[in-house]
Amino acid sequence: MCGIVGYIGQDQSQEILLKGLEKLEYRGYDSAGLALLNDDGVYVSKVKGRIAALREAVDENKKATMGIGHTRWATHGAPSHENAHPHQSASGQFTLVHNGVVENYMEVREAYLPNVAMKSETDTEIVVQLIEHLNEQMNDVAAAFRKAVDLLKGSYAIALIDSQNPETIYVAKNKSPLLIGLGDGFNVVASDSMAMLQVTDQFLELMDKETVIVQRDAVTIQKPDGSKVDRDPFTAELDATDIEKGMYPHFMLKEIDEQPFVIRKIIQEYQNENDEIKLDPEIRQAMKECDRIYIIAAGTSYHAGLLGKQFIEKLANIPVEVHVASEFSYNMPLLSEKPLFVYISQSGETADSRSVLVQTKELGHPALTLTNVPGSTLSRESDYTMHLHAGPEIAVASTKAYTAQMAVLAILAVDTARAKGIELEFDPMQELGIVANAMEALTDQKEAVEELASEFLPTTRNCFFIGRGVDYYVGLEGALKLKEISYIQAEGFAGGELKHGTIALIEEGTPVIGLATQEKVNLSIRGNIQEVEARGANSCIITMKGLEKDGDNFIIPKVHELLTPLVSVVPMQLISYYAALHRDCDVDKPRNLAKSVTVE
Ligand code: M6R
């Protein structure tokens, strides 16, 4: 969702800000803008559309050694030039960018700004006008800034510049991610370290409700009570090349191809020199002690959670419930006596999951987060974290983080089983090694998948995925992948449910992708495929070596039955990729979607 960058130093800031915004493009946005401050005053440029359009719109001759920039994902008001950030106060003294949702913006407007004419439909403009209004009364910008953020309810990451003070960027954060990057003679502000890796790898985390004065040579963090905070920086463990596409046309294809390496990395990271599972003993204890696990997640991470339930229940014999985060918030089920909450989130920033975490922490329940971003909000606020080690995932469509989530869940399940004294024949590291090889064999067959995609999905309006057991869950993920990047209306169904309604949707030529990787349901799902074929469906079967029949379209190599989802999802990811490509869709940045969903 929205992204923020800021720079104050000695160098020309415009290019640094534009490059930073380009690195935030992956988060999803629909307009962008920047503001520069120099002796001539503030220069603002903004556009509806991509950073490439902003690059064309800006005056490249503008020189300024400080500025702020923004990518906006519309919440209040349509994507437009007027609603794009930065927003300015009535007199033009203050210029501000904001990420998040100010829940009480109408109340603030009525109470403090009844006579101020607004130029946009955004909640953000209220904030910058409020700061100006408070500064008129207090004549102290820092104090007015602190007072203003104190009045706000909801989520915000804010960067503000004052045209009368080119020495300072004012920053505040609550619930939305924001970091300060440190340099020699300069400092930066960024929603994500990726944006500013171009100039520094040293970053300061900010806690909710803190305000920060960022200057060229100093960064001062204050708590809401005005007391100063000393905090050590951390080093962003990212290589700038990790966030480049390299030879690949799209990040999604690169990330699909990286999956075997990610699985091998996970094996390495979660195994000690005696080939035992390496895990924080406190996590082991928490898993052992709980009487029920509640997995909370959204989207693709929710689909990984469904498979996590299978691993944990089958191997470790602990009951597991899997909940969509946004529903759980309003609809909390009766909890067991000793619940353990497991949050699964690639970004670690998903607001829906965070809202559940806040609730369950208030109830005193322990929380474990599985995330690809260890310093993220969910990770910081949970008791324990397991890192996915997938490397930065830039494409909006999650691929390698999903398979990493399943691999880490399988390891966690086996470790818990062993800790409970359950004897297993299943060696997760060995089996995951086989999975990595199988994934490699599949990513080498791109041409075959491309052909399949052009045969099955060239102009179709819709597409169905069917499976039973874990294949059903992979079908849900296949459908989500296809719809989010190709805009084909796609749904996943349990094979057995077809006759209870869905089969009415099947007509001549309807594409149906059937998954048949589980021996015990192989014949029944094939029966379902025949039923849809009899009604004209254009079917395609993905199966596993050993279960194949004449005419099957794609045979995945043999892996342990429990782990087939890690492999069978690869052709699904590739089918979606090629379907989107053939339809000229923006594969990495699908319309309306954001990588990091930081508003509820
Ligand atoms: O960062 P998270 O894993 O918490 O994100 C959850 C969903 O927003 C995410 O998985 C989304 O469904 C992806 N775009 C799917 O490809």
Summarised one tens digit per residue, pLDDT across range 42-75 is 999 999 989 999 999 999 889 999 999 999 988 8
pLDDT at position 245 is 83
Take residue 118 and report the two structure tokens written for it: 């607004």
What separation in Å is there between the alpha carbon of 301 and the centre of ligand 1?
6
Fold of 445-600: Rossmann fold (3.40.50)
Catalytic residue selected from 173, 265, 589, 595: 595
Residue 360's pLDDT band (boundaries 50, 70, 90)? very high
- Report how far residue 400's alpha carbon sits from residue 337's, in angstroms, rounded to the nearest whole number: 35
List, for residues 429-462, the tens digit of each pLDDT value: 999 999 999 999 999 899 989 988 888 887 788 9
Neighbours of 271 (CB within 10 A): 16
Residue 504 burial (10 A CB sphere; 0-12, 13-18, 19+)? exposed
Is the CB of residue 76 less than 8 Å from the CB of residue 104? Answer: no
Whether 2-245 shares its CATH topology with 248-442 is answered no
List, for residues 161-176, the tens digit of each pLDDT value: 999 999 999 999 998 8
What separation in Å is there between the alpha carbon of 331 and the centre of ligand 1?
21
Q: Which residues contact 504 (CB under 8 A, 6 or more apart)?
A: none
Ligand 1 contact via 201 beta carbon (within 6 Å): no
Q: Which residues contact 283 (CB under 8 A, 6 or more apart)?
A: 368, 384, 386, 412
- Report how far residue 122's alpha carbon sits from residue 83's, in angstroms, rounded to the nearest whole number: 6
CA-closest candidate to residue 430, choices 518, 259, 559, 300: 559
Ligand 1 contact via 346 beta carbon (within 6 Å): yes
The residue behind tokens 């805009």 is 487
CA-closest candidate to residue 74, choices 175, 22, 2: 2
- Where along the chain do its domains lie? 2-245, 248-442, 445-600
Ligand 1 contact via 479 beta carbon (within 6 Å): no
pLDDT at position 75 is 83
Take residue 526 and report the two structure tokens written for it: 């094939």
Interior/surface letters 64-100, b for 16+ CB within 10 angstroms, e for the rest: bbbbbbbbbbbbebeebebbbbbbbbbeebbbbbbbb
- Report how far residue 66's alpha carbon sits from residue 215's, in angstroms, rounded to the nearest whole number: 10
Is the CB of residue 468 less than 8 Å from the CB of residue 493? Answer: no
Ligand 1 contact via 379 beta carbon (within 6 Å): no
The helix or strand, by DSSP H or E, that contains position 321, with its residue range, turns out to be: strand 320-324
Cis peptide, bond prior to residue 86, ω within 30 of zero: yes
Take residue 391 and report the two structure tokens written for it: 């490397």
CATH 3.40.50.300 fits 2-245, yes or no: no
What separation in Å is there between the alpha carbon of 129 and the centre of ligand 1?
34
Probe target for ligand 1 pocket from 350, 377, 473, 484, with the most ligand atoms within 8 Å of CB: 350
CA-closest candidate to residue 187, choices 345, 35, 6: 6
Residue 240 scores a pLDDT above 70: no
- Report how far residue 325's alpha carbon sits from residue 353's, in angstroms, rounded to the nearest whole number: 5
Residue 600 scores a pLDDT above 80: no
Probe target for ligand 1 pocket from 346, 373, 586, with the most ligand atoms within 8 Å of CB: 346
Catalytic residue selected from 2, 463, 540, 585: 2
CATH architecture for residues 248-442: 3-Layer(aba) Sandwich (3.40)
Q: What are phi and psi of 484, to 5 degrees?
A: -70, -30
Beta strand spans in 31-154 (E): 31-38, 41-48, 66-72, 87-88, 94-99
pLDDT at position 241 is 66
Q: Which residue has the higher pLDDT, 240 or 541?
A: 541
Q: What is the mean pLDDT of residues 411-437?
A: 95
Residue 239 scores a pLDDT above 80: no
- Report how far residue 103's alpha carbon sits from residue 89's, in angstroms, rounded to the nearest whole number: 20
Q: What is the mean pLDDT of the chain?
A: 93
Take residue 112 and report the two structure tokens written for it: 């403090």
Q: What is the mean pLDDT of residues 234-263?
A: 87
CA-closest candidate to residue 531, choices 569, 496, 488: 496
Is the CB of residue 462 less than 8 Å from the CB of residue 510? Answer: yes
pTM value is 0.80
Q: What is the mean pLDDT of residues 294-304?
A: 98
- Report how far residue 404's alpha carbon sits from residue 300's, in angstroms, rounded to the nearest whole number: 12
Percent of residues, the chain, with pLDDT higher than 70? 99
Residue 246's pLDDT band (boundaries 50, 70, 90)? confident
What separation in Å is there between the alpha carbon of 298 and the centre of ligand 1?
6
Catalytic residue flag (residue 595): yes
Residue 568's pLDDT band (boundaries 50, 70, 90)? very high
Q: What is the mean pLDDT of residues 177-195?
A: 94
Of the candidate ranges 266-280, 359-373, 394-408, 445-459, the one whose mean pLDDT is the lowest: 445-459
Q: Which residue has the higher pLDDT, 475 or 100?
A: 475
Ligand 1 contact via 398 beta carbon (within 6 Å): yes
What are the angstrom distances between the C-alpha of 82 and each of 38, 48, 54? 23, 9, 14
Take residue 115 and report the two structure tokens written for it: 């006579």
List, for residues 73-109, the tens digit of each pLDDT value: 888 888 899 999 999 999 999 999 999 889 899 999 9
What separation in Å is there between the alpha carbon of 411 and the centre of ligand 1?
22
Beta strand spans in 175-307 (E): 179-182, 187-190, 202-205, 210-214, 219-222, 228-229, 234-235, 292-297
